[in-house]
A and B are shown apart, each in its own frame.
Chain A
Amino acid sequence: MSSHDEKNHQPPLDLSGWRALPVVLIVIGGFLTLLGALLSWKHNDLREFGFSWLMAFMFYYSIALGALFLVIVHHLTDAGWSVGIRRFCEHLASLLFPWLAILFLPVLILAKKIYSWLTLDPATNNLVAAKLPVFTCSGFIITSAIIFAIWWLLSSQLSRWSLNQDKTGSAECTRKLRFYSGFGIVAFALTLSASGVLWMKSLQYQWFSAMHGVYFFSSCAWVGLATVYVIAAILMRQGTLAAVLQKNYFYFIGVLMLGFTLLTAYTEFAQYFVVWNANVPEETFWYLIRENGNWWWLSLILIFGKCFVPFFILLPEKLKMNFKVIIPLCLWIWAMHAADLAFNIFPALHNDGYHLKWIWLPLGILMLMGGFLAKIFICKFNSNPPYPQRDPRLLEAMGVSQNVVRDLTLAKDGGVE
């Protein structure tokens, strides 16, 4: 790197050869979505469309949550290496509001077609009555609004003080960021679990599992890390983040991915095992449905594809830094996460197996949302400095050892320890 300041105005994220990709995605995805909406309206009263939209929304929602988690954890652990990847994580997180909130609107509009408990009468249904007053139409709207309000508060404040620090470099910003991360992690855990229950688990309102919140969190972090790996690799290649990314940081991201692969597998196994072993009808029906038709095959794909494949690829030490292997793996992780969401969501609609003739619909919506959100992300990234310019841990991210940084601070203040 020749001059440090020059870097600040340097080439932002452009996807070079893939520049047109978001627009292409929007066009193709938009067409498929529209077609799907029409066909679904004609054939099954928009239910297919609603479920597909919910799944695609949950997919990007979980990526944004994963990124938000990384930002919060960065501040809480006072990490050094992750300074370089923090800025674009902040951008990913701030997609939550308003953009993902806007994408949530169709779910809200179609809620009565998606969530069966909204149409059931609590007077005749014990399980719905037990969940009053939250699980009502107004309860659903209010809770969803609170959830997005919390995401707005967290993502905007974490982004705001981080950008502020670029200008001032003051320790005050770091303190603010830690403050928001401190209560933020509590709010994060509660809000994430609540949204998982309200939007996903309650599709089959008769079923309950205390592990679900942790499972959803761990999936979010997992898919978020895969996304971060890919974006960081692109930015490293373009030289945008070359100053603050070392090759071994990809090792760290890889280790975290390995850890969350295991944690996700752990939560799912625990959930399955406890239900399987106790054999209580109130719970087993959820898994029994998922043994029907092609859900059975999907469950097998998930066991191997979501756990064993990433685990064995991420296990060898050196392989974690090999882009040629890990970037395809990250794409695979996306596919597996989407499949897992489908496994959670669609059986509420098709409990005899997925109707493969509809598969283009969720894919189309995924493309539409992906293109749209990518456009916004690139726009956000390009209008701000690519990494935190005056972060107190910037030197560490540049590869200066902690001991040396400590001495530099002492030298700067001219003081002694």
Chain B
Amino acid sequence: MSEKVYGLMAEFDSPAAILHAAEKVRDAGYRRWDAFTPFPIHGMDQVMKLGNSLVGWVALAGGAFMFLNVVGLIWFANAFDYPLIVGGKPMFSVPMTFVPAYIMLIMGGALGALIGMLGLNQLPRLHHPLLDKKRFELVSRDKFILLIGAQDEKFCATETKSFLESLGGTHVEIVEDVE
């Protein structure tokens, strides 16, 4: 088991503090960094330039997939493989097909949204280096933590540490990655 440095974390007290700190970290040219907060912070997306999340597309793909499949299924079941006259209606028609296909579109979209969210967030995961830190438990409470990853080109244990402290971060600590 070897330990290597995962990054440096610094703690902030308020949403505004971490938002301003994030702006400065970005302006300083760091790329691999992240902010950990108890709730989404308004404006952080723009600071981190996250753009539009791909989850919407995954959901759309899931929904479209389900929709087309159910249309195909209904055609196959009721018009091709097992045609049965019911109520004098055509074997395959739009009003009959649309509703079940549409309800399964919702199913596909919802599954797509959840799976997309988990996939893009790399969840579920059994462990994360930050979860070892005692102070990190406060993130789900009322603290705001900024992490600069060790893989960042500009990362330097001492310089980054003093940089984070200059931003007003407290409890600047090294996060170890256990392998």
Contacts and interface: CB of A to CB of B under 8 A. Distances in A.
Asked if A and B form a direct contact in the complex, defined as CB atoms under 8 angstroms apart, the reply is yes
B88 A272 contact: no
A183 interface: no
B78 to A, nearest CB: 15
A317 B88 contact: no
Interface in B14-50: none
A276 B95 contact: yes
A273 interface: yes
A317 B60 CA distance: 13
Contacts of B52: 317-318
A276 B56 CA distance: 35
A269 B94 CA distance: 11
A14 to B, nearest CB: 36
A279 B89 CA distance: 10
Interface string B90-127: 00000100100000000000000000000000000000
A317 B88 CA distance: 43
A273 B56 CA distance: 31
Interface in B33-88: 52, 56, 87-88
Nearest to A401: B42
B14 to A, nearest CB: 14
Contacts of A318: 52
A273 B88 contact: no
A275 to B, nearest CB: 10
A273 B98 CA distance: 11
A125 interface: no
A277 B95 contact: yes
Chain B, interface SS category? loop
Interface in A263-285: 269, 272-273, 276-277, 279
A269 B87 CA distance: 19
Contact of A279 (B56, B88, B98): B88
Contact of A272 (B56, B87, B89, B95): B95
A343 B130 CA distance: 64
Interface residues of B, number: 7
A317 B56 CA distance: 10
A272 B96 CA distance: 12
Contacts, number: 13
A318 B52 CA distance: 10
Interface string A169-204: 000000000000000000000000000000000000
A317 B51 CA distance: 12
Contacts of A269: 95, 98
Contacts of A277: 87, 89, 95
Contacts of A276: 95
Contacts of B87: 277, 279
Nearest to B94: A303
A313 to B, nearest CB: 15
Interface in A309-330: 317-318
A296 B87 CA distance: 24
Interface in A43-74: none
Nearest to B102: A269
A273 to B, nearest CB: 5
A279 B90 CA distance: 13
A269 B95 CA distance: 8
A333 to B, nearest CB: 23
Contacts of B56: 317
A277 B90 CA distance: 11
Contacts of B88: 279
Nearest to A276: B95
A272 B98 CA distance: 13
B2 to A, nearest CB: 45
Contacts of A279: 87-88
A277 B52 CA distance: 43
A149 to B, nearest CB: 41
Interface in A94-122: none
A125 to B, nearest CB: 30
A273 B99 CA distance: 10
A276 B95 CA distance: 9
A300 B29 CA distance: 56
Nearest to B99: A273
B58 to A, nearest CB: 15
Interface in A244-274: 269, 272-273
A301 B17 CA distance: 55
B152 to A, nearest CB: 30
A193 B98 CA distance: 29
Nearest to A278: B87
Contacts of A317: 52, 56
Nearest to A279: B88
A276 B88 CA distance: 11
Nearest to B93: A276
Nearest to A318: B52
A110 to B, nearest CB: 37
Contacts of A273: 95
13 contacts: A269-B95, A269-B98, A272-B95, A273-B95, A276-B95, A277-B87, A277-B89, A277-B95, A279-B87, A279-B88, A317-B52, A317-B56, A318-B52
Pairs A-B, 3 closest by C-beta atoms: A273-B95, A276-B95, A279-B88
Given A269-B95, A317-B52, A318-B52, 9 more contacts: A272-B95, A273-B95, A276-B95, A277-B87, A277-B89, A277-B95, A279-B87, A279-B88, A317-B56
Interface of B: 52, 56, 87-89, 95, 98
